Structure 1
Amino acid sequence: MTAVTGDSADTPINDYDSFAEAYTAENEHSLVNAYYARPAILELAGDVAGRRILDAGCGSGPLFEALRDRGAVVSGFDASAAMVELARRRLGEDASLRVADLSEPLPFPDGAFDDVVSALVLHYLKDWTAPLAELRRVLKPRGRLIMAVNHPFVYKLVNPEADYFATCQWSDEYTFDGQKAVLTYWHRPLHAMTDAFTAAGFRTAVVSEPPPAPGAHERFPDELADRQAFLCFLFFVLEAV
């Protein structure tokens, strides 16, 4: 993990179009995605039958698919055209999918959705003000935003010299299905997250640090050993007020 300060022109860009297929192949059955982030979001969502749900940052569509299989009426968008194309292959031509950027106004009417799910998206953004306002706008009153971001303590754990309370940029290199890629995130402390939620018109209903899904220990014995939980992502259920 490499900390990056400021807005340097040399900072890597999260160009998912360039590694969309490798990312999808790697995370189809990975610990942190298939056995942690996705099942945790689904558990927090509960019974979604008949609910109108927006998958904000849908990637190649695995969460969209799981929600649809549970009876939800799902729409999705992603900033990566390559990811949306992979999602369309997975979900079918009639799936409600489009290319859109959460940092810009969303192409959906006010109050269109009962829930929004946003898995591992907001931590790519420096400023949460406009994105959260847009997600609040497209939710009906008392609708839910169910989201996951990088756990803020992990940044400090890996970089002991870093200032936990500063909002700062950092990057890490990954290998997805044999292809190297750099992802760049924005760290912010927990209080900055909850302050942003409140300012956008949300009430924080749930903060969760869940264990991995059943079967994870059998599939990933080396990574998990005897641990029942681990620090990775932080999950929220927010209610539009």
Structure 2
Amino acid sequence: MPGDTAYHDALGDRFAAHAETSPYNAFTDRPAMLALAGDVAGARVLDVGCGAGHYAAELLARGAEVTGVDGSAALLRHARARVGGRAALRLHDLEEPLDFAEDAAFDGAVCALVYHHVTRRARLLAELRRVLRPGGWLLVSTSHPAADWRHFGGSYYSEDWVELPLGGGPHAIRLRRMPLETFLGELLDAGFVLERLVEPRPVAALREVDPAAYDKLTRFPAFLAVRLRRP
């Protein structure tokens, strides 16, 4: 089922390990999104699809008050081990309303490489707008449509569900392709204001760890990341 996108059981364990050191997660997406977040000291932040807690740990270290949600019990187990009791972590299906949160409960929200796994994206965005205070910020990163087109072929404008092998192993992650106009159009239609768009490049440290990956990621885009504001 396309909507069944949580990283359950062995896939969750595999992804938790992968995200720890992956050139894509640890050296490209995460640094870019944290740079977009800026100063979060004292901010109430919702980590949407918190995964194994890598973002939660970074946000906590920067002084944020973090609530994290994820649909995978396996990933939440890793997240709890990483952040202990320093963040409020809960099992929650992102296809359902964020009924645990009151209106305007958060100053900001981070949705890192999760959006392309969600089926009911319009509802999720409406819920995020509801739980963010006026003037609150939303960060979203997703697979770059040019990267998907290059990898999967077919039409650039395709919005079908595809499977991407995870780290060359036996597991694959399911995601929905979308062109840039769909990605940005949905965010703007939900009432958010675009403040910045970046196409993340890897940080320089990757050059020492994995020169081949550094060379590839500085030439071919992997992700899009945006910072939006709730009016």
Class of the TM-score when normalised by the shorter of the 2 chains: over 0.9
Instruction: Report how far residue 12 of structure 1 moved.
Output: 10
Unaligned runs of 5+ in 1: 1-8
User: Which residue number in structure 2 is paired with residue 166 of structure 1?
Assistant: 158
Instruction: Report how far residue 173 of structure 1 moved.
Output: 2.1
State the TM-score, normalizing by the size of structure 1.
0.88
CA contact (8 A) 2:49 2:114 kept: yes
Q: What is the SS of the residue equivalent to 1:105?
A: coil
For residues 120-150 of structure 1, the C-alpha deviation after alignment (integer angstroms, 9 at most, x for no partner) is 0010123421011111111001111111000
Among 194, 197, 207, the residue aligned to 1:217: 207
The amino acid of 1:238's aligned partner reads: L
The answer to whether the aligner puts 1:29 opposite 2:24 as a matched pair is: no
CA–CA separation in structure 2 for the residues paired with 1:187 and 1:227 = 19
The answer to whether the aligner puts 1:46 opposite 2:38 as a matched pair is: yes
Among 174, 189, 193, the residue aligned to 2:183: 193
State the TM-score, normalizing by the size of structure 2.
0.92
User: Which residue number in structure 1 is paired with residue 74 of structure 2?
Assistant: 82
User: Which residue number in structure 1 is paired with residue 142 of structure 2?
Assistant: 149
User: Which residue number in structure 1 is paired with residue 93 of structure 2?
Assistant: 101
For residues 78-130 of structure 1, the C-alpha deviation after alignment (integer angstroms, 9 at most, x for no partner) is 01011112111111135201011221111211101111001000101234210
Between the aligned residues of both structures, percent identity stands at: 36
Instruction: Report how far residue 163 of structure 1 moved.
Output: 1.9
For residues 45-80 of structure 1, the C-alpha deviation after alignment (integer angstroms, 9 at most, x for no partner) is 011111110100001101100010001111101010
Among 112, 117, 138, the residue aligned to 2:110: 117
For residues 160-214 of structure 1, the C-alpha deviation after alignment (integer angstroms, 9 at most, x for no partner) is 4x222232111122247xx521211111111111211122110111110122113
CA–CA separation in structure 1 for the residues paired with 2:53 and 2:148 = 28
Higher relative strand content: 1
Higher relative helix content: 2
User: Which residue number in structure 2 is paired with residue 230 of structure 1?
Assistant: 220
Q: 1:26 to 1:132 in 2, by over 3 A?
A: same
CA–CA separation in structure 2 for the residues paired with 1:55 and 1:199 = 22
Q: What is the SS of the residue equivalent to 1:235?
A: strand
The amino acid of 1:174's aligned partner reads: L
The amino acid of 2:44's aligned partner reads: R
User: Which residue number in structure 2 is paired with residue 17 of structure 1?
Assistant: 8
Instruction: Report how far residue 217 of structure 1 moved.
Output: 1.0
CA contact (8 A) 1:13 1:183 kept: no
Give aligned pairs, total.
229
CA–CA separation in structure 2 for the residues paired with 1:188 and 1:229 = 21
The amino acid of 1:128's aligned partner reads: R
CA contact (8 A) 2:196 2:228 kept: yes
